[in-house]
Amino acid sequence: MVQSVSGGMGSDQPTDSGKPKARMLPSKRRSRRAWVALGIVVFAIGFLLYKGLGNSLVYFRTAAGAVRDRAQLGSTTFRLEGVVVPGSIHTTNTGVDFAVESSNVSVQVHDTANPPELFQPNIPVVLVGHFSGNYFLSNQIMVKHSANYVAAHPNRVATVNGKKL
């Protein structure tokens, strides 16, 4: 019976003279590499926790919450969430102007970035920017689509005589 030591295959093999081979070195290197890899992983976990605690827990403020805390927010950059108000979208030379709403509180937005493909009226968005005068100046629009999936053309498949399958 032997005690299995998982220090790597072929490590510590003796030479004819009875002295350990130089193969010990790769084993040590492997060991050091494993510890370095573990250290990197621990650092990555720490970094993710730091980013997570800093950004994730209050990822955005709703339009209503931001208006309520406006004095406190000042010109600080934060994420603002709200639903795009239908009929409020106007393309400008620098981007797009529109309004977002939550809990019947609306905020006028002046955006300087290209809106994403799904940007449209009645869709929830998260904007990155800050208050400036009567506007929320945004430099990034992110679309927060819902978890509902509805077929665009539910009756598109039909039989020859027009009857739905």
Partner 1 sequence: MESKRYKWTRRAIGIVSLLLVAATVIFGLWITPPDVVQGQLVRLIYVHPPVAWVAYLAYGITSIASTLYLWKRTRNMKWDLLAASSAEVGVIFTALTLVTGSIWGRPAWGVWWTWDARLTTTALLFVLYLGYLALRRVPATSHQRAVRSAIAGLIAFVDVPIVHQSVVWWRTLHQGATVLNPSLSPKIHGEMAMTLLLGFISFTFVYAWMLMHRYQIAGFEQKILDIELDQILEERLHEPGMESMQVELSPDVEQIDRHSKV
Q: Which residues bind partner 1 (CB under 8 A)?
A: 1-10, 12-14, 18, 27, 30-31, 33-35, 37-38, 41-42, 44-45, 48-49, 51-52, 54-60, 81, 115-120, 123, 126, 140-154, 156
> Is the Cβ of residue 52 or residue 86 nearer to partner 1 in the bound state?
52
CA-CA distances (angstroms) from residue 120 to 11, 49, 97, 157? 64, 34, 12, 28
Minimum distance of partner 1 from residue 90's CB (angstroms):
19
Closest CA to 114 of 93, 140, 137: 140
Compare residues 1 and 134 and give the one whose CB is closer to partner 1: 1
Alpha carbon of 95 to those of 124, 130, 139: distances in Å? 18, 16, 9
Q: What are the b/e assignments for 141-162, b being 16+ CB within 10 Å?
A: bbeeeeeeeeeeeeeeeeeeee
SS3 164: strand
In the complex with partner 1, which residue's Cβ is closer, 54 or 74? 54
- Closer of 42 and 158 to partner 1 (Cβ): 42
Tell me if 118 sits within 8 A of 145, measured CB to CB.
yes
Report which secondary-structure segment, H or E, holds 83.
strand 78-84
CB 144, min distance to partner 1, A: 5
Whichever of 94 and 134 has its CB closer to partner 1, that residue is: 94
Smallest distance from partner 1 to CB 24, Å: 12
Please state the separation of Cα 120 from the chain's center in Å: 21
Least distance from C-beta 78 to partner 1, angstroms?
Answer: 12
Query: Residue 139 Cβ, how far from partner 1 at the closest point, in Å?
Result: 12
